[in-house]
Amino acid sequence: MIAPPERKAATSNWLIQRAIQLLRPLMGEINPEQAKLNLEGRASDHDARADRLESFARPFHLYALTLSHLGDSMPKDNRQWQTLLEQCLHNGSDPEHGAYWGPCTNFHQHIVEMGLLVLSLEISREHFWNQLAPATQNLFLDWLETARCVATHWNNHMFFGIYTLEFLKKEGRERPTDQALIDGWFRELESMYRGEGWFRDGLNDSVDYYNAYAFHYYGLNWCLYFADDQDARRQFWTDAANRFLASIPYVFAKDGGIPNFGRSQTYRFATLAPLGPAIQLGCCPLPDSEVRRLAEDHLDFFLTKPIYTQEGWLNIGWTDENPAIAESYSCISSTYWAAKGLSLLLLPREHSFWQAAPSDPDDVYVDGHRHANSVGLTLRRFDGDTEIINSGSAISLMNLRYFASKWSKLVYRSSAGTVLPDKATPFPLDLSLVADFEDVRLGRHVTHPAEFGDQHILCCYTLGEKTFEQMVAVQTHIAWNGPWLFLEHTLQASEAFVMRQGGFSLGHTEECIPDANLSEELGIRLSNRKFTSLLQPLFGFATTEVERDDPTQGRRHTLYPHHAIPVAVAPIPSGESRIACLIYFGPPGQQASPWTAEANGDILRLNHPYYQHWKPRND
């Protein structure tokens, strides 16, 4: 683990220490003869040459950020590091060398790593690119030209085509059609903008942290290095980033964590990516002192935990090693996409940002929420914890290999973590509503946001599958009060189903199995020394149960080796019905006491010894 460094308000040392300690184990693995870093571990579903290029390109981004910031003040070992990295770049670009990375082909992963390499070389132009021998530069540019007009996926990958052509233009390799290609890719990317700073990721159809470490990171860095006199386009990307950065702080909890939401969660602290270029461009709406507090706490949340291999590289996981979090496209080197989270190193050492002391945590981690109506997300902070309430984001039908439940759960809370899906369990029950019909389980896919209030949201969706005629149409009302959630579902079922609503999963170690208390009146409570997960049925449910992980099937919780989920069960007939419950996750104590309910027509009044009364239908 990396211990928290000594903090000095007037320098960038607090971040440089982090970067160097991440970088040093990698620099001992440079292998010029194979044009890679010797990072051994999980392979992706691309191919071996893609993984080999990735092993160079992603750690090189960390190197480039550090080199651009420190320049001649890099550690004394840098002369050797730079020589070896130059040899890697030369050999990988040389078609006559056995370590040649190979050309970029249609839809190949190479375009992604090429685009990242170009950005890294632009960031470190003075201290790396300009120091290369002309022969090496020409080999690299020849290699880049293999990507000139290849097909890319219709999503954030189009940025990599843009970056490749922009770099070739700067180096005198422009062709007459290049600008038309750049403009076309930008038109497609900008068409994915939904407003309020949020983009939907093209053919993936999803909205998640890729907004931070793809759309805004690449959009802003294009403004920094390639925009030239394109003022209107620069204004579009800086305005979008400004709006995004005004809301995204609400995902950061007081302990530095964020909810497990969406794909590529093993990129960990890459959510910080837009901050550096936004400050450099003057479009960050957050005070420097708040940025420093968020950045330090978020980095500490990860870097002080066991997220390293024995060799000191980043492992695949979240707060520790957890292969279940990997996507099919993830290899061991993929984790270094997290290097974008050190983007504050783009700011020169004399920048005024480094004079800012971190804000008091109590001034930063205030209660509140932000609705992103255009994409159906609510970002909420309370009592130092955070959650994402999802009433709109989903994954497209063509990419269900990522599993719908990384977006389709109703709520994702930082302190609770989440249960990861697999082929046997594509719809984990934590904070999910599912419909069981015989031996088939139906979950949520696309969701339509309908209403956003001061303390509630309303959304509609159907539990079902393309090739399965039985289904349940659902209208869900979610209201909140501190760590408590009120969920009410109005159901229209084509057949009789058994509905299950899960509460938050309570993660635990093998030695600390949580206590389970079940009561027909008060619901189900799971407790350990730190947290309580409680699900209290209000009406429509018949029984409760506890779903526990199967140790023989491998770990699936993001924070702990094991988990348990409180579940309420409701057999429903065909036609319309309603079910409702209260869900709690947080510290034990009086605030975890159950509520009493009084109903008068459509008015539901809830009473509590800690929170007094609450009318969740009438905020």
Name all domains of the chain by residue range, CATH numbers in brackets: 13-364 (1.50.10.20), 403-593 (2.70.98)
**Each residue of 533-572: b (16+ CB within 10 Å) or e?**
bbbbbbebbeebebbbbeeeeebbbbbbbbbbbbbbbbeb
Residue 327 to residue 419: CA distance in whole angstroms: 15
| pLDDT category of residue 20 using cuts at 50, 70 and 90 | very high
- 199 burial via Cβ count (<10 Å: 0-12, 13-18, 19+): buried
Tell me the whole-structure pTM to 2 decimals.
0.96
* pLDDT value at residue 10: 55
pLDDT in tens, 203-262: 888 999 999 999 999 999 999 999 999 999 999 999 999 999 999 999 999 999 999 999
Q: Tell me if 222 sits within 8 A of 163, measured CB to CB.
A: yes
pLDDT in tens, 511-521: 878 878 877 66
pLDDT in tens, 523-536: 899 998 899 999 99
E runs forming strands in 165-240: 193-195, 198-199
Residue 390 to residue 262: CA distance in whole angstroms: 11
β-bridge pairing 193-195 and 377-382: unpaired
* pLDDT value at residue 510: 85
* pLDDT value at residue 1: 59
Report the Cα–Cα distance between both ends of the chain, in Å, rounded.
45
Which residue in this structure is represented by tokens 């989270």?
341
pLDDT in tens, 191-200: 999 999 999 9
3-state secondary structure (DSSP) of residue 30: strand
Residue 114 to residue 141: CA distance in whole angstroms: 11
Task: Please determine, for residue 8, whether its predicted confidence score (pLDDT) is greater than 50.
Answer: no
Q: Which of 317, 313, 228, 231 is nearest to 269 (CA)?
A: 317
Question: Tokens at residue 308, please?
Answer: 């390293």
**Whole-Å CA distances, 555 to 66, 334, 559, 562:** 35, 21, 10, 6
* pLDDT value at residue 612: 84
* pLDDT value at residue 613: 92
* pLDDT value at residue 87: 98
* pLDDT value at residue 9: 45
Stretch 330-336: mean pLDDT:
96
Helix ranges, 71-102 (H): 78-93
| pLDDT category of residue 7 using cuts at 50, 70 and 90 | very low
Task: Please determine, for residue 26, whether its predicted confidence score (pLDDT) is greater than 70.
Answer: yes
pLDDT in tens, 480-502: 999 999 999 999 999 999 999 99
* pLDDT value at residue 404: 83
| pLDDT category of residue 2 using cuts at 50, 70 and 90 | low
Mean pLDDT of the chain: 95
* pLDDT value at residue 315: 98
